[in-house]
Amino acid sequence: MTHPTLSDVVSCLSDYDPDALPVAQAQQIIRTFVTPVNAVEKVALRAALDRVLATDIVSPIDVPAHDNSAMDGYALRSADLDADAAAVLQIIGTAYAGKRYDGAVGKGQCVRIMTGAVMPVECDTVVPQEFTKNASDSSVTVPAGMVRAGDNRRFKGEDLQAGKPALSKGKILRPADIGLLASLGIAEAPVQRRLRVAFFSTGDELRSIGEPLDEGCVYDSNRYTLYGMLTRLGCDMIDMGVVKDDPASLEAAFRCACESADAIITSGGVSVGAADYTKQMMAQMGDVTFWKIGMRPGRPMAFGKISSNGRSAYLFGLPGNPVAVMVTFYFFARDALLHMMGAQMPPLPLMRATSRSAIRKKPGRTEYQRGILSLDANGNQQVDITGAQGSGILRSMSEANCMVVLHHEQGSVHAGDPVDVLLFDGLI
């Protein structure tokens, strides 16, 4: 099957306009165009943390393997209990976790049992130790009404059943998941190989830290935010530094990135009017489109696929402004990279919060304002905007704990109106 070109993909959209592209359409085009990298490796369980599971895992065993006790107490036959009177039961033995009681349990008898110990066959209920009275070595009293039949018994296979799916392919393995695999006795997990992402910054005004800051120059901060965001996604990175805005350097950088990575992320040089060679080189090297997206911050963006010497890589040409880089990364590159990694992630949930202030907003573009979500005196969620929202003001991201998402069609917000927020936790 030949891979569709970008023009194939956009030809399916009736109202495609690269100069006024809604966020949702850009996301849809990217999602259709990128394909997962299918390469599997087996890693030891601990090393599988935060990796993408490459195959479904079917449970080889029942967990737990036997019916067992959920409490320290006495295993008994519920038929021996009386709804109106205390029952005095004879203790005939003890069941420990890992050491079962093998004898038969007759009428009026019980077994002292520890949490996790296998239930004696005849017993269906456990009365917790603290509910009993007059316990001696040979007998114990269970007052009326303390337990119902079946209480405090954990069933064989109630956590995971042999032959049933335990984890699905595409899951990003979290602490609970590697614990769950351990509970199945699985020592190694099949995971997708890490995605390789090359990135560089473009712009003659950029200086790397350690260099003197010449007149009119700025330190390159985008490579550091990109490093952070890519690290959180679990990518392998090729940091290619700052690339000067001249054709030879840019071509060399794009070729090198293309030949060594699955995806390339650049920042800067994609806005209109930029007198530079970045866009020219991107267009020359492959199937790349230049968008003006209906969003703030982050309007200009390049997207496509470039090739060099028979190797190709997806390209995300992000804008230069530091906040725009982060926002376009989170709302376009992140989802595409996760898809390339083979991850199956449900969309991040938006939460509702009351905006403490009025926010001016024009319908026809999506805005991502940086916010601080907190609780008011009544425990309700409220959100404040983190001061100046310029796309060059990285402090607005640093101070925020969420993004206030003002949707495409939405207009201005009045103080006290509910707004949608996306928490940074989960996103980053």
Which residues sit at the interface with Mg ion, rule CB under 5 A? 203, 268-269, 320
- Pick one of ligand AMP, Mg ion, none as the site partner of residue 267 (Cβ within 5 to 8 A by kind): ligand AMP
Concatenate the DSSP letters of all residues of 20-88 into one string. SEEHHHHHHHHHHH------EEEEEGGGGTTSBB-S-EE-SS-BSSS-EESSSEEEE-GGG--SSS-EE
Residue 34 Cβ vs Mg ion, minimum distance, rounded to whole Å = 26
Q: Quote the least distance from Cβ 194 to ligand AMP, whole Å.
A: 24
Closer to ligand AMP at the Cβ: 22 or 268? 268
Strand-pair partners of 292 = 300
Provide the phi-psi class of 345: left if phi over 0, else alpha when psi is between -120 and 50, else beta. Answer: beta
Q: How far apart are the first and last CA of the chain?
A: 35
Smaller CB separation from ligand AMP, 120 or 298: 298
CB of 392 to Mg ion, least distance (A): 12
Cα distance between residue 375 and residue 109, in whole Å: 55
CB of 23 to ligand AMP, least distance (A): 19
CA distance linking residue 297 with residue 248, whole number of Å? 31
Residue 321 partner contact from ligand AMP, Mg ion, none using kind-dependent CB cut-offs of 5 to 8 Å: ligand AMP
Calpha distance 235→218 (Å, rounded): 27
Q: Which does 286 bind (CB under 5 to 8 A by kind): ligand AMP, Mg ion, none?
A: none
The nearer residue to Mg ion, 63 or 394, going by C-beta atoms, is 394
Which one of the spans 7-15, 29-37, 246-254, 261-269 is the region binding ligand AMP (CB under 6 A)?
261-269
d(CA 142, CA 159): 30
Residues in region 314-343 near ligand AMP by CB under 6 A: 319-322
Site for ligand AMP in 201-220 (CB under 6 A): 201, 203, 205-206, 218, 220
Cis previous bond, 64, omega within 30: yes
> Nearest residue to ligand AMP, using CB?
320
Structure token digits, residue 104: 């038969």
Output 22 or 203, the one with its CB closest to Mg ion. 203
Q: What residues between 274 and 293 interact with ligand AMP by CB under 6 A?
A: 274
Q: Which secondary structure element, helix H or strand E, spans residue 368, and what is its range? A: strand 366-375
Binding of ligand AMP by 267 (CB under 6 A) = yes
Residue 392: CB minimum distance to ligand AMP, A: 6
Helix, strand, coil in percent for the chain, rounding step 5? 25, 35, 45
Binding residue for ligand AMP (CB under 6 A) from 192, 271, 355, 382? 271
Site string for ligand AMP, 366-395 (x = CB under 6 A): --------------------------x---
In SS3 terms, 409-426 reads as CCCCECCCCEEEEEEHHH
Question: Which sign does the torsion angle of CA 255, 257, 258, 259 carry?
Answer: positive
Residues that bind ligand AMP (CB under 6 A): 201, 203, 205-206, 218, 220-222, 267-269, 271, 274, 319-322, 392
